[in-house]
Amino acid sequence: MVSLSAVEEGYRRFQENMIGHLEHLDGEGRFGDDPWTRPQGGGGVTRVLSGGRHIEKAAVNFSSVFGDTPSGLSERIAAAGSSFHATGVSIIIHPRNPYAPAFHANIRYFESDTESAWFGGGADLTPSYLFEEDAYHFHSVLAGVCSRHPSARYQEWKKACDDYFRLHHRGESRGVGGLFFDHITDDLDDTWAFQQDLAADLPNAYLPILERRMSMPYGADQSRWHRIRRSRYAEFNLIWDRGTRFGLETGGRIESILASLPPVAEWVYDFEPEPGSPEALLLSVVRSPARSWL
């Protein structure tokens, strides 16, 4: 039987485990420790690394908030109750090297006074330069985790990720996808086991990619393209991301909600890369129908 206290404890362990992996790999950067309290109920711990050797910015944040359901909440199922309790961990990593992809993941759990409860979460990879072997590795790890749990559905959740992480106003995917699942109410015990397995395997899904890209030589042109692609990342989080919207609507801590944004981004008017360039290759992928990476 899933209990809120067990889920919160597991999420806190996940936060500390991921931080340990990232600090070890970076070698220099260290995460701050910023506990916060939500006046309406609950709080969390925001952990941000800035200016590391290989990681320009990373945030690994835990939250557990509760209270009366705000009026006008756009989360339809959550809005059906008069009170709620939501807890989760979110991760965002923005590497310094343009050849190293950004990474995002989150796992979350929600309860309301209507006796409804569900899990959600996912993980996705956002490269500025396409290395197909990185996408294959990332998806193979995620598919492997799903294969171990009856409640997990890789193909369905991969499609949901492709559909969700999309800049509809530009006709582009944010990256090469991953998993996205939400409002999972069936077999909560196995879904909780899946979430724990996913949390344990996420370092293996992403860190080998970061390790093999973070020391590649690059120049000013690659850095500029990196900033341009980061602007698309910012656009998604500010326009389309449900987590950002939910945090703002429930009175979450603004600094923690917006910690996912990249440290530096650039908007260049009507920029198109040279045909046949590595930059153009990336655009051809994110502007095309989603690919299978298995």
Catalytic residues: 104
Please state, in angstroms and rounded to a whole number, the distance separating the CA atoms of residues 289 and 285.
Answer: 8
Q: DSSP state, 24?
A: H
Alpha helices in the chain (DSSP H): 4-26, 76-79, 132-147, 154-164, 188-213, 220-239, 242-249, 254-257, 278-286
Output the CA–CA distances (angstroms, integers) from residue 116 to 85, 192, 205, 270, in the order listed.
Answer: 11, 15, 32, 46
Tokens at 181, concatenated:
């699942």
Q: At a CB cut-off of 8 Å and minimum separation 6, what does 192 contact?
A: 2, 6, 7, 10, 119
Residue 124 phi, psi dihedral angles, 5° rounding: -150, 160
Tokens at 46, concatenated:
């925001």
Residue 89 belongs to what H/E stretch? strand 83-95
Asked if 116 and 77 touch (Cβ cutoff 8 Å), the reply is: yes
One-letter amino acid at 271 equals: F
Tokens at 52, concatenated:
């590391």
Q: Hey, is 238 helix, strand or coil?
A: helix
Please state, in angstroms and rounded to a whole number, the distance separating the CA atoms of residues 146 and 197.
Answer: 9
Q: Hey, is 84 helix, strand or coil?
A: strand
Please state, in angstroms and rounded to a whole number, the distance separating the CA atoms of residues 47 and 164.
Answer: 26
Please state, in angstroms and rounded to a whole number, the distance separating the CA atoms of residues 174 and 179.
Answer: 13
